[in-house]
Amino acid sequence: MKNRRKFLQTAGLSTLALSLPWSESLAYLSSSKEEKVLRVALMGLGSYASRVAEAMKDCRRAKLVGVISGTPSKIAQWQQKYGLEAKNCYSYDTVHLLKENKDIDAVYVITPNALHKPHALAVATAGKHVICEKPMAINADEGREIVAACTAAGVQLLVGYRMHFEANTLEIVKKQRAGEFGKTLFFQGLSGFIIGNPSQWRLNRALSGGGAMMDIGIYSINGARYMLGEEPVWVTAQEEKTDPVKFGEGIDETITFQLGFPSGAIASCLSTYSLNHLDKFFLSGSKGFAEMQPSTGYGPIKAWTHAGPLDKPHVTHQTTQMDEMASILLDGKTPFLPVNGEEGVKDLQIIDAIYEAVRTGKKIMLPG
């Protein structure tokens, strides 16, 4: 308390800060002076990187300081737009030089899915914390390689699960854990949109590692796990393809899949690139239910239960995500829902099983 008062006097902020409620003044103080800020470089400057960069403008604890891109003109644009120092900008060929850069703490890998592994490994080798966009890799084996590489390099690894920090989502998850819905025996996740430009990397197997499942279906997989609070023990899946030109070999257009859980709960989900209006979660229990629609879109999440609507205000997901990830990486904070590499691997194991179930027509058992 003595230190605090002294600081307030020194900063000439005593009147202002003391007039605020205690928690707010603490937050004010900590944001201005006490907490370290995570200095982040973005790797891969596509549209999602732009979204993250814009969201980080409002971050309290994370700051965009650098970029890694294969396109020099993009680097120039980003330098100007975000006031980045030239020394914090790299090409893919010079990523190893990050090792000598003391002004970057973490790299957020936002390149196409199939490049996550080599890029994450390069970042880890350069001694920086890795934040890897979902899916963490294109299969569980690659995911495990990333985990092992980060462990070996002594850096932390997080996956860009922005929904794990979204306030309404967390409220429903906490209600589920508290038993407010009774025994939750059914989860339904519908994840899909009509994908545009057929020449984009998401429809190129070599870069995407798969189709809708990798991109959007993973939300239902991940949602089933956090909404039910269990790990699945079996997987079944069915595929349909109505446009084999747009969705070539190895690019799934539509897959329905089911996950069975130890409690007897079943998750029944849809992943598709051929229908819009598909961003819905539904959790049904013996005492009540929860619905979310939109459930994972970038905009405000709309959630309600048998007892009525939830009303946590919308905060840009990536802003919250990056602030929370700063707390995890810098302070060792444990998030309510994990966003580490093991979490990423769990989803990839299920994706592997879904593809195997489609290929073989069989129920695939998981270690659970």
* Residue numbers at the binding site for its own copies (CB under 8 A): 183, 185-186, 188, 190, 194, 234, 236, 238, 240-242, 254, 256, 258, 260, 263-266, 268, 270, 272, 274-278, 282, 284-286, 288-289, 306, 361-363
Q: Shortest Cβ distance from residue 153 to its own copies (Å)?
A: 42
Q: Which two tokens stand for residue 94?
A: 């010079």
Q: Which residues contact 136 (CB under 8 A, 6 or more apart)?
A: 116, 120, 143, 146, 159, 341, 344, 345, 347, 348
Q: Shortest Cβ distance from residue 4 to its own copies (Å)?
A: 49
Nearest CB to its own copies, comparing residues 169 and 256: 256
Nearest CB to its own copies, comparing residues 135 and 189: 189
Task: Give the C-alpha separation, 153 to 126, whole Å.
Answer: 8
How many Cβ atoms are within 10 Å of 145's Cβ, its own excluded?
Answer: 17
Instruction: List the beta bridge partners of residue 305.
Output: 290, 308
Nearest CB to its own copies, comparing residues 174 and 183: 183
Q: Shortest Cβ distance from residue 305 to its own copies (Å)?
A: 10
Task: Give the C-alpha separation, 124 to 112, whole Å.
Answer: 18
Nearest CB to its own copies, comparing residues 13 and 275: 275
Q: Shortest Cβ distance from residue 229 to its own copies (Å)?
A: 16
Q: Shortest Cβ distance from residue 285 to its own copies (Å)?
A: 7
Task: Give the C-alpha separation, 52 to 199, whole Å.
Answer: 23
Which DSSP string corresponds to 14-33? HHHHHHS-HHHHHHHHIIII
Q: Shortest Cβ distance from residue 25 to its own copies (Å)?
A: 44
3-state secondary structure 283-308: EEECCCEEEECCCCCCCCCCEEECCE
How many Cβ atoms are within 10 Å of 233's Cβ, its own excluded?
Answer: 14
The CA-based diameter of the chain, rounded to the nearest angstrom, is: 71
Q: Shortest Cβ distance from residue 280 to its own copies (Å)?
A: 8
Q: Shortest Cβ distance from residue 225 to its own copies (Å)?
A: 17
Nearest CB to its own copies, comparing residues 55 and 266: 266
Do 68 and 107 contact (CB within 8 A), yes or no?
yes
Q: Shortest Cβ distance from residue 190 to its own copies (Å)?
A: 7
Nearest CB to its own copies, comparing residues 215 and 253: 253
Nearest CB to its own copies, comparing residues 7 and 289: 289
Q: Which two tokens stand for residue 146?
A: 């990333």
Residue with tokens 């339904």: 188
Nearest CB to its own copies, comparing residues 208 and 256: 256
Residue 162 carries which DSSP code? G
Nearest CB to its own copies, comparing residues 63 and 241: 241
Instruction: List the beta bridge partners of residue 367.
Output: none
Q: Which residues contact 105 (CB under 8 A, 6 or more apart)?
A: 38, 39, 40, 128, 129, 329, 330
Residue with tokens 């407010």: 180
